[in-house]
């Protein structure tokens, strides 16, 4: 396991329903501020913004955004992750792609669909919680609304970094800022949350507040606001020391999820 992991959160002002423009935007942000990153985390639905127009905008599983991620990750020797709209057969997914430099990618489909915006009427829910590797670090991905459901993200001592990609509107940003450190404390892991900025095509305002917390819920990175990359280095030694000093997960309840 690499002692340090350099993580960057791409807090971007997404172009409404414009995949090609948003891919160019992510490339530009990485060109300007992404030097030295091991892991770049992009927002939820980073090619379109939060929309239910899946019939028009969803890509095939082997589509242009997957190719773009593979090329960028391989060229820059960086792991890139974020979600976008994908179609498989008759089903649509809000799907996160985990793309390492090798191109041997993995997927996580959003488990908790935001029914208050009708997401459940268009998309199929994911059924599998996954953990991916990056330089020996174990990384568990979640998508936006998943943040409100702590059982789904509960650590089985199987990850070091829990991260959320989101389009989380300004109206509920106080809950975002409270729940992220709570997930860090209860799971004794680093927690990162990347959120977009700007105004989407439905008129919803997003202020970002992308954040990274250590396993005690303490903030690790300064967010200057606006379109930026929020970045920090995670320490494996500090995480192990905190877990050794206070091994709270040894006393955690056992449970089984029914899907």
Superfamily of chain region 4-248: Carbon-nitrogen hydrolase (3.60.110.10)
Dig out the tokens for 11 from the structure.
């807090």
Bridge-based pairing state of the strands 132-134 and 190-195: unpaired
pLDDT tens-digit profile of 34-79? 999 999 999 999 999 999 999 999 999 999 999 999 999 999 999 9
Rounded Cα distance between 49 and 85, Å, is 10
Crossing angle, helix 19-33 and helix 64-76, to 10 degrees? 10
pLDDT tens-digit profile of 99-121? 999 999 999 999 999 999 999 99
Q: Would you say the pTM of this structure is higher than 0.85?
A: yes
Which residues sit opposite 143 in a β-bridge? 165
Question: What percent of the chain is predicted at pLDDT more than 90?
Answer: 97
List C-alpha distances in Å: 108 to 21, 81, 86, 113, 161.
Answer: 24, 10, 11, 13, 15
List C-alpha distances in Å: 98 to 15, 142, 197, 246, 251.
Answer: 22, 12, 22, 31, 31
Are the CB atoms for 149 and 183 separated by under 8 Å? no
The catalytic residue positions are 44, 110, 144
DSSP state of 71: H
Backbone region of residue 26 per phi and psi (left: phi > 0; alpha: psi in -120 to 50; beta: other values): alpha
pLDDT tens-digit profile of 161-182? 999 999 999 999 999 999 999 9
User: CB neighbours of 164 closer than 8 A, spacing ≥ 6?
Assistant: 142, 143, 144, 146, 147, 180, 191, 192, 193, 194
Domain boundaries, the chain: 4-248
Dig out the tokens for 134 from the structure.
């990056």
């Amino acid at each position: 396991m690499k002692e340090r992991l350099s993580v960057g959160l791409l807090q971007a002002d997404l172009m409404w329903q414009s995949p090609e423009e948003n891919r160019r935007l992510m490339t530009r942000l990485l060109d300007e501020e992404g030097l030295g990153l091991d892991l770049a985390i992009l927002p939820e639905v980073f090619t379109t913004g939060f929309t239910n127009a899946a019939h028009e905008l969803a890509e095939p599983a082997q589509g242009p955004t997957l190719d773009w991620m593979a090329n960028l990750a391989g060229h820059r020797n960086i792991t890139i992750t974020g979600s976008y709209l994908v179609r498989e057969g008759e089903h649509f997914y809000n799907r996160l792609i985990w793309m390492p430099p090798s191109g041997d990618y993995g997927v996580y489909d959003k488990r908790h669909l935001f029914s208050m915006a009708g997401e459940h009427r268009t998309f199929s829910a994911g059924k599998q919680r996954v953990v991916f590797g990056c330089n020996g670090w174990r990384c568990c991905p979640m998508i936006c609304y998943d943040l409100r459901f702590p059982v789904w993200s509960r650590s089985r001592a199987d990850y070091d970094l829990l991260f959320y990609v989101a389009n989380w509107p300004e109206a509920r940003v106080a809950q975002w800022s409270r729940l992220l450190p709570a997930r860090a404390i209860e799971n004794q892991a680093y927690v990162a949350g990347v959120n977009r900025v700007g105004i989407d095509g439905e008129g919803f305002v997003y202020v970002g507040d992308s954040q990274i917390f250590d396993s005690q819920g303490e903030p690790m990175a300064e967010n200057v606001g606006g379109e930026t990359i929020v970045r920090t280095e995670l320490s494996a030694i500090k995480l192990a020391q905190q877990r050794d000093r206070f091994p709270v997960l040894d006393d955690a309840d056992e449970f089984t999820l029914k899907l």
